[in-house]
A and B are shown apart, each in its own frame.
Chain A
Amino acid sequence: MSHAGAAPHAAEGGHHTSMGLDSRKMAFWAFIGSECLLFATLISTYLIYKGKSLEGPYPHEILNIPFTSFSTFDLLMSSLWMVLALAAVQRNDMKWAKVWLMGTAIGGLIFLGGQVWEFSHFVEHGLTLQKNMFGTTFFVLTGTHGAHVAVGVLWLLTLWVRAMQGKLTSKNAMTVEITGLYWHFVDVIWIIIFTVVYLIQ
């Protein structure tokens, strides 16, 4: 097994743990672990109150599977573009790094646009945060996920601006890798939400 988290990041300002692992990467994995617990509570709450709404709209009446399938595909593709951006930064190919970073951010923006449209559509059809248990748990769960996507988009755009300024090089590969960890985590959470909320109604 290789030890990909080990030592070589001193040049980009990284610090190493006594195990020789990059401290930022270790801290970020710990953060992702804590995020697992956050989303587990939100998914649990959704499942506990599922089917306990006293009035509609109910999930099967309002959820749009073809539209959400497209959003899921979009987020999966943005994950591909993120790893291609990391690979480009690692080989110091900054031209393609900028392209893939912007592509990933645009993928995130398309997802967010879809979520805004979906939420507006639901409100027009009478589903609000206060309407019923489905509305409350659905908006809190998917809204929290959407907020994470928005943070990810801002983070990606920041990296893109740094790349445009020439301040992002292969020396900062760990910074891009950590951004990628966050982005892929947002993607895996959506994989679960898509199944639990949209497909298992």
Chain B
Amino acid sequence: MADTHSHSHPTAAVYLRVAAILFILTVIEVGVFYVQAFHVVLVPALLTLSAIKFAIVVMFYMHLKMDNRFFTLIFGGPLILATGMLLALMFLFKVFVIK
């Protein structure tokens, strides 16, 4: 059967480019960790890089960018709920403190 998925999924070349980007972002992450000058912005920089890597894998390797948007909804809803719960717990247990 000619699966119509193959028409909407990225090509091997795109997958390789995505892997190269993920590798570079990981190298930057580890670099930020080791270079003292970046320690002022360590946490926001690492969280941003991590979020970019997360989004790239979900969009291209898990195909949410090309798939039906309902799948994005099924995944995105609990993801937002999970992030909200994590942030709420951080404030509740005073890991984050608003001054």
| Residue interface mask B36-67, A partner, CB < 8 A = 1 | 00000011001101100110011001110011
Q: A173 CA to B66 CA in the complex, in Å?
A: 16
Pair A4/B61 contact, Cβ less than 8 Å: no
| Interface residue SS majority, chain B | helix
Which of B30, B68, B95 has the largest number of chain A CB atoms within 10 A? B68
Q: A11 CA to B1 CA in the complex, in Å?
A: 8
Pair B19/A76 contact, Cβ less than 8 Å: yes
Instruction: Pick from A4, A47, A87: contact of B4, CB below 8 A.
Output: A4
Instruction: Pick from A26, A72, A77, A82: contact of B70, CB below 8 A.
Output: A26
Which of B9, B18, B42, B61 has the largest number of chain A CB atoms within 10 A? B61
| Interface residue SS majority, chain A | helix
Which residues of B approach A to under 8 Å, CB–CB? Answer: 1-12, 15-16, 18-19, 22-23, 26, 29-30, 32-34, 42-43, 46-47, 49-50, 53-54, 57-58, 61-63, 66-71, 74-75, 77-79, 81-83, 85-86, 89-90, 93, 95
Which residues of A approach B to under 8 Å, CB–CB? Answer: 1-9, 11-12, 19, 21, 25-26, 29-30, 32-34, 36-37, 39-41, 43-44, 47-48, 50, 65, 69, 72-73, 76-77, 79-80, 82-84, 86-87, 90-91, 170-171, 173-174, 177, 180-181, 184-185, 187-188, 191-192, 194-196, 199-200
